[in-house]
Structure 1
């Protein structure tokens, strides 16, 4: 079970820092808040939301330009949280998703991004009390990179595979599905420089679709990506978790947090560079804004492209979570799938929509 937590946490850390914001003129200089306090809600709902107090939201990793990080930053910068009378503090996560879950369970934070449904299930199976209310991508974000001369994964037997501290469970399942004897593959821990692959220091390298392949492409390097979903391996990305007691006491605040986030997500799809500009201001370390625009565009493509027919953006459903849970049991990451009726809140996000459109302002 520790292996999955480590893999997911390091996966988040593999991505570079990013940022967000927006202005209608497309100049990329940061967002200009719009509307006014409570402009999107009734006076009573405004009062109810203000009663929730300060909401601390922990990102998956710093201010990277990923789904469920860039969009909440944008919602704050654009004034969407203010429009629904929410006082939101965005706290950068360290990349340790188990820590995020523990912060939310303890009530130190009320809402957080976490790597995916699998990470939620592992934490809950370990006794961490959180609930999942939203999920953006219905696809694993992990990938395995090789040089183009590898045309069959069986060729990796007798070679060296680079990973970030643990082999992601989705990558392991993909390799086993292709008949790879992992005892014949030497695994070494590498850093976050993907050029170790093209320099021949490793013959395969685990990474994330929205990060390392972009870096190598920018350098003109050609690689092959081997993706778990192409071999029937389930996965997800950008799940939102909440403190159960907070949700029970302040459901309208959680609804309107997600409502503002989803509105900002749509804005950032059209204004990626502007949104990256605001998160860049929050970062305490240098980052490549151009790269992070590509990170955002890659992740939103994954999110939009994996959205099941008949579902709305952000919707989480019991069936897909159970599929991942059964997979984790099969891979011996958890002993049993937790009671999903206590873990997943499937009706929250759909309630934010009418006829497939996000409701804004709130009636």
Structure 2
């Protein structure tokens, strides 16, 4: 099923009519409650005039995608919530910065309001330098990281005397994996990677890379290239998948507005969990239209979302919902391997109530 992106996202009856038609056609295949009955109200705006005025009064809300147009939870859903008109329906004026900027810095400084990060570890490492960030959603309890290696590497211990590549930093959960495998890191040469080409591993330019399980290893599989992959769960380690953060001051002053931002994006996430191909095609088209098509081709996006959507589904909570217990293991890993002078308590970094309040009996309440 394809949505007409020429009209979606524009205010007016054209949106409402288009979406109601799509909703009726798709209702039978979607999860119970997603589009049953009135998916939207009979007009574009689905909240009261008072609520609409409240949401409009904050002006433009800026979301920063640090990973461009990647088909990932906390990103894909924000792009498509805008395209589908869900933000419009809640009177939210949302601007998306997809330039790959440092979302944490922009949000912490108040130049933007929302951004998504790859794991709770990223949130914790950022929180050590800025207390003006608050995590409001965690999308899964699978770590997105893995170590993929040349086929000659049969165990991580075999990296001793070899080379290990990494992007930005070696994540705490990767360090925990290496320690659990008994690797003497003084015998491993670390190399900071300058591009995301995973074929350097089977071609022997580096022995292994700390990468993203839904991306580089899946690319190698699609090419039929041999390699070995090591995941945190192989060592009894549990992490987290993707976190949405908001500027703390914005959240404090505009809690109901922040809740509506999350309501709209989770509405789109719900749709994309049920309609993977359609959402992959649309986010890929958006990437191409904004000169990022070569970085986010549809085949790669499909592989990524096939894996990452399963992480959302396999979470033990409703999509986005989280609690301090979900971060406990990773907090311990960051405390041990994060090389921080001070690590804030989980409660200081997380708001566990905002997203939970959007669900009733496990179902997202739309519009209320």
2:237 to 227, 233, 239: 233
1:160 aligns with 2:167: no
**Partners of 1:30 and 1:209 in 2: CA distance:** 30
The structure with higher relative contact order (CA 8 Å, sep 6+) is 1
2:58: which partner in 1? 52
1:105: which partner in 2? 108
1:292 aligns with 2:292: no
1:62 aligns with 2:71: no
**Deviation for aligned residue 1:188:** 2.6
Contact 2:118–2:144 (CA under 8 A) maintained in structure 1: no
1:245: which partner in 2? 249
2:146: which partner in 1? 143
User: Normalising by structure 1, what TM-score?
Assistant: 0.84
Superposed, 1:105-124 pairs within 5 Å as 105-124=108-127
2:48: which partner in 1? 42
Q: What SS does the corresponding residue of 1:261 show, helix, strand or coil?
A: helix
Contact 1:104–1:242 (CA under 8 A) maintained in structure 2: yes
Contact 1:40–1:84 (CA under 8 A) maintained in structure 2: yes
**Deviation for aligned residue 1:209:** 0.9
Structure 1: 4+ residue segments shifted above 4 A: none
Q: What SS does the corresponding residue of 1:198 show, helix, strand or coil?
A: coil
**Partners of 2:3 and 2:348 in 1: CA distance:** 43
User: Normalising by structure 2, what TM-score?
Assistant: 0.83
Q: Which runs of 5+ in 2 are unaligned?
A: 9-14, 17-41
Question: Can you list the C-alpha shifts for 1:191-240, whole angstroms capped at 9, x where unaligned?
Answer: 32111111122222221111111211111123221012331334222211
Number of equivalences: 331
Superposed, 1:1-363 pairs within 5 Å as 26-27=1-2, 30=5, 32-33=7-8, 34-35=15-16, 39-94=45-100, 99-164=102-167, 166-190=169-193, 191-279=195-283, 280-281=285-286, 282-287=289-294, 288-305=297-314, 307-308=315-316, 311-362=317-368
> Considering only aligned residues, what root-mean-square deviation do their CA atoms show, in Å?
2.1
Tell which deviates more after alignment, 57-66 or 314-323.
Answer: 314-323
Q: Which runs of 5+ in 1 are unaligned?
A: 1-25
